[in-house]
Structure 1
């Protein structure tokens, strides 16, 4: 009987016609194809060291089985696909914050695990605020220009005065407080004024003046000089302004005077009759929907002066054009 010899090998023979190098090349191409697909989807940014790690691992396996290591050309560098988010960096001061995505690669199983640790936040929308006149509480829409005028804003002033009574039963009005504000509503002048004659009626319910307010007040002659110096050459705005000028014993040029109680355009916008002499309180409520002169502490000449200036600015352009047309010779 002839001897039978059986040769056993633990290694798996490769199919006929397929070398280990060809098999390795196909695996590498499959890996690169998967990496390219994931990268194009924006889900993976292939790191160079992972590619080199995979290549080094496979070359070591080839070296152990087939002898000397075969050198392969390095794979191309990964590039960011167009339109995909860049998680590698965030702009300084941006409202969008995210952590970079992390990926793990298992060379033996040729699988990828992608973890997205961050998410985009929508930037905050700019807050839309309304312009408000300083200290007046009057909201001004975009059509009511706050710091520009048809002329020179520095030439416009608004005035309001508070009176007390002198003489029998307080029937003689005396200047006790004067407030002047600029075109933008800034307070230019605001002082209590001590009348030259004894006060018999403080009219506190309307004037807001109390005896203590006049103890150390500016004497009338001194205050009058200060006020007239400010008004000189200015366009002066007031409501029933003739009363203020009378208390000052002063006459301002009519061409430089704007009386909001006698502007028909304001009455039209408020829904009143053109020739009606509406109060400052009613006009302010009708046009701005804002209450002034409330409570029992009396009026505030600063608040009234600011309200008067805001009313004038509502019709400034139209009113000034009318005045110019009236002044032209026919």
Structure 2
């Protein structure tokens, strides 16, 4: 069986697809990822075949164009309050750029199955155009069906497809305790590296460790997390590890603050006692899968929604970067309720089917 995976041109969108793609390849199927921009590098790092379906595409340029044309929506998007309005405009434009390349790749590769993530509906449109079964791979804490419907319009019109067809099924990464019951095949979330591993860290420190992680997407509204933590670090009784340090940090860091480059989340998370991060869905799920309490700093796009989901889960809470204090970081390490809730999610996620099982089910369904 030949399987085409289609992702939006962002690292955080392609990485959740990798475990299933690798599982299908282990099972003997031919796999190809169609994406663009930074996501192409991530796929190749995992030694998966990748096709650039939109050479020269710049997600940042598309985003800037949307913000200039729709300043009120852009303002709400930066605040994380735009809902699907900003997503529809931004990823609608992105998929209009992707869909011709995805359609051409579909014609060349002739897949038996297309697997697309909710903000890469170009994959669903290309599949519909050729009558190929498609599966929606959820990689977001928003409802994927809602996201796909919101962003599909420009790509549908470009290829004269009347409506976005329903997928054969959906692969669901988020447990129902987190997002509610959603139809489809449950699958265990397996974090993976976002690029070449350039950092290193002790397997387990002698005292508690808090990691601070930031988005793989540079842009307005997402900075300041590490500077805020560093400002109070001297009063925290723990080691603090900055993953991919952000610009603007002090030249001299407190003695308990360390830095590292790219590191695989699946290797890092089990060495942590807590994590402070930007609210990306992959980091949220990675922390839950490892049973690590988390402090989320709400940001643009879906990150405010994700922060709310984390607070509701009981496995963490949300606070703006300027409001981070040493007491809050100590609470991350000592709050029994947080650790208990995080542990429950670790058990729940571990009980979900492994990608190898899901690959077998998909192959049988096509």
TM-score above 0.5, yes or no: no
Q: Greater CA radius of gyration, 1 or 2?
A: 1
Normalising by structure 1, we get a TM-score of 0.29
Q: Bigger relative contact order, structure 1 or 2, given CA contacts below 8 A and separation 6+?
A: 2
Normalising by structure 2, we get a TM-score of 0.27
More helix by percentage: 2
